Amino acid sequence: MLIIEKALKQLRENLNSMTEVVVDMLELVKSSLEQEKINDLEVVFKQDKHLDQLEKSLARQCMELLALINPHASDLRFVFSVIKTNIDLERMGDECKNVAREMKSAGDKVPPEMKQLALMVVDTAKKTFKALANSDSKLAMEIILDDDKIDTMEYNIVQKYPQLGISLTAKALERIADHATNIAENIIYSVEGIDVRHENTIKQRMGK
């Protein structure tokens, strides 16, 4: 039992390390968009490479854990959730890189709506990582319900601004929020053992 507890503890710590890198990337993207300092986004590319390495390491750790020990059902759900969350975190990093690439190539003035979208996306990610660290399924459900607000803002930006770089940046930010929502779903599965990928299920559980 001590072996599995130690392995799971290390898994949680490594997962938290990944979320910290993603938060750093998101904060840099947000501040660069807010201040229209697009050149600052160069750092994002370096961080993305580091995140890729962490993703591979965490995936290997999950596989070794499953192969060497026989965890309980709740621990199995956690490990499987980490495997999926690991992928979403790496893809969040990829989308940060896409934001940096599109804004550098576009060279357009950043619309105020884009700055607001970036703020909402970073806030959603931070809430998601808080829920992840605390195994908070209630907060995870709230995150899923709020996803429509980001979808609507992204749609409005794409409709209002014809510039390709702005459109692709908005879509990349929206996809970051989608990955955060995926992680929220993984949290609920890990904690409660239920699949809430359908919105009606969430609304029923939240009494909405």
**7-34 CB burial, b ≥16 within 10 A, e <16:** bbeebeebbeebbebbebbbebbbebbe
What is the pLDDT, as a whole number, of residue 2?
A: 75
Q: Which residues, 6+ apart, have CB-to-CB distance to 71 below 8 Å?
A: 4, 8, 65, 79
Query: Could you give the CA distance from residue 68 to residue 79 in angstroms, rounded to a whole number?
Result: 13
Angle at 152 between CA 187 and CA 90, to 5 degrees: 40
Computed over every residue of the chain, the mean pLDDT equals 89
CA atoms within 13 A on the CB side of 25: 30
For the chain, the residue count is 208
Two structure tokens written together for 149: 């607000």
Domains observed in the chain: 2-206 (1.20.58.220)
For residue 147, the 8-state DSSP code is: H
Query: Could you give the CA distance from residue 78 to residue 58 in angstroms, rounded to a whole number?
Result: 13
What is the pLDDT, as a whole number, of residue 106?
A: 65
Q: Is the pLDDT of residue 74 over 60?
A: yes
Q: Is the pLDDT of residue 198 over 70?
A: no
pTM value is 0.91
Instruction: Tell me the CA distances in angstroms from 176 to 9, 17, 95, 115, one per residue in order.
Output: 27, 18, 6, 15
Please state, as a whole number, how many other Cβ atoms lie within 10 Å of the Cβ of residue 167. 18
Residue pLDDT, tens place only, 88-139 = 999 999 999 999 888 777 665 889 999 999 999 999 999 999 999 999 999 9
Q: How far from the centroid of its chain's Cα atoms is residue 102's Cα?
A: 19
Instruction: Give the lowest-confidence range in 10-14, 169-173, 183-187, 203-207.
Output: 203-207
CA dihedral 74, 75, 79, 81 (to 10 degrees): 20
Query: Could you give the CA distance from residue 31 to residue 4 in angstroms, rounded to a whole number?
Result: 41
Please state, as a whole number, how many other Cβ atoms lie within 10 Å of the Cβ of residue 122. 21
